[in-house]
Amino acid sequence: MSSCAGGVAAWDEDVKADVECCAPAESPASAPRPAQRRLWYGLAGGIVVWIALYRLLKPAAALLIYDTIGLIRGTRLASSVEFFVYEVPKVLMLLVLVVFGVGIVRTFFTPERTRRTLAGKRESLGNVLAAALGVVTPFCSCSAVPLFLGFVEAGVPLGVTFSFLISAPMVNEVALVLLFGLFGWKVAGLYLATGLLIAIGAGWVLGRLRLERYIEPWVHETRLGVGGPIEEDLTWDDRAQRALQAVREIVGKVWPYVVGGIAVGAGIHGYVPEGLMAGIMGKSAWWSVPAAVLVGVPMYSNAAGIVPVVQALLEKGAALGTVLAFMMAVIGLSLPETIILRKVLRPPLIAAFVGIVACGILMVGYLFNLIF
C-alpha cells in the first residue's frame, strides 16, 4: 500500500513538473511596470488639468486685470495688459499640446527614413512627399547644411530637396498651433495649404532649371554614412518619453520668443490707433505686399515671435494677405538660413531660391487680399 501511495505521489510530482514546464512563463516585459503606469496615468491626468485650465484662462485674466489689479476697462493700458496676460498662457498651453502630438509622429520619421523615402522618387511626386515630410520632421536653420548634404548623397533631386527645406521651417507645428490658437482653423488651414503649395511649386521650378552646377563641388565629395538603420524599435512608452522630451526642448527654446512677440503685439493692440495699419498694410496699397516681403526677409525671428505680432497687426486694420506674406518671408526666407546655405550653394542658386520663393509668397499675399 505504501509503495502504491509512493507511486501516486511520484506521478503527481511528475505531472506538476510537466505543467510548470509547459505553462507559458509571464514575461517581465509584458507585465505593466509601475513606471509605465505612472507615465500614462500622468499623461491622462495632465490632459484633464489642461482642459480645465484652458477653459478658465479668459475669466481668470479678466479677474486679475480688473478686480485684483484694478485697471479701468477700455483704457489703452488695460487693453494691452489683458491681451498679454490672456495670450501668453493660452499660446504656451496650445504649444505644449501640439508639440507633444507632433513629437509622437516624429518618432516614426528618422533622418535616414526621410532620405530613403525621397531618394529615387520622380520629381513631381518627390516634391509633394518632401513638402509633406517637412511639416512633421525636425528642422532648424542650423540643420540646413547637414540635411542638404544627406539628401544630395542619397540621390534626392535638387528640386525635391528644396521642397523639403522650404516646407520644414515655414509650415511647422509652432506656426500652425499659434495660427490656430489666435485665428482659428480656417486661417491655420489656409496657411498650411498655401505654404505647402509654395514649397511644392518652388521646388518643382528649381528642379526644372537644372541648377545642380551651382552646388559647391565639395558637397559631392562628402560622405555622411548614409545607409544606417531606417528606424529604431521603439515601444509606445519610448515614443511618449521622446514626445515629452520634445516638449521640454522646443517649448523651452521658443517660450521667450512667445512672450516677446506677445509683448510687442500687446503694445500694438493697445496703443496703435485703429485704422493706421490699413493705410500702410491694407488692400488699397498695391505696394504693401512686396514691401512686407522685403521687410520680412532680413528679419530674424520664428513663428513663436512673429505670429502674435501678426494678430495685433490684423486687429489694427492690416490686410490678411499682406500680413501672411510678411510672416512667410520672416519664417521661410530668414537671413540666417540663407547665410548658412551659402556654405553649400553658390550665389546664383541662392538667388534663384530666394527669388522663386519670394514670388510664391507675393502671389499668396495678393490672393488672400483678393479673397478676404
- Domain residue limits, the chain: 111-221+256-371
Lookup: cell for 266? 500687446
Cα gap 247→222, rounded to integer Å: 33
pLDDT at 204: 92
- Residues 195-202 have a mean pLDDT of 91
Q: Who contacts 261 (Cβ-Cβ below 8 Å, separation ≥6)?
A: 301, 304, 305, 306, 307, 308, 309
The residue that leads in pLDDT, 200 or 330, is 200
Cα gap 98→104, rounded to integer Å: 10
Q: How many CB atoms lie within 10 A of CB 280?
A: 15
Band of residue 307 on the pLDDT scale cut at 50, 70, 90 = confident
Q: Is the pLDDT of residue 25 over 70?
A: no
CB–CB of 310/324 below 8 Å?
Answer: yes
Q: How many helices (H) and strands (E) does the chain have?
A: 17, 0
Q: Mapping DSSP to helix (H, G, I), strand (E, B) and coil, where does residue 49 land? A: helix
- Residues 154-162 have a mean pLDDT of 83
Taking the complete model, does pTM exceed 0.85, yes or no?
no
pLDDT at 222: 59
Among 57-66, 142-151, 242-251, top mean pLDDT goes to 57-66
Mean pLDDT of the chain: 76
Q: Mapping DSSP to helix (H, G, I), strand (E, B) and coil, where does residue 345 land? A: strand
Cα gap 164→151, rounded to integer Å: 10
Q: Mapping DSSP to helix (H, G, I), strand (E, B) and coil, where does residue 75 land? A: coil
Lookup: cell for 125? 511626386
pLDDT at 21: 47
Q: Who contacts 221 (Cβ-Cβ below 8 Å, separation ≥6)?
A: none
* 330-358: burial string, b at 16+ Cβ within 10 Å, e else: bbbbbeebbebbeebbeeebbebbbebbb
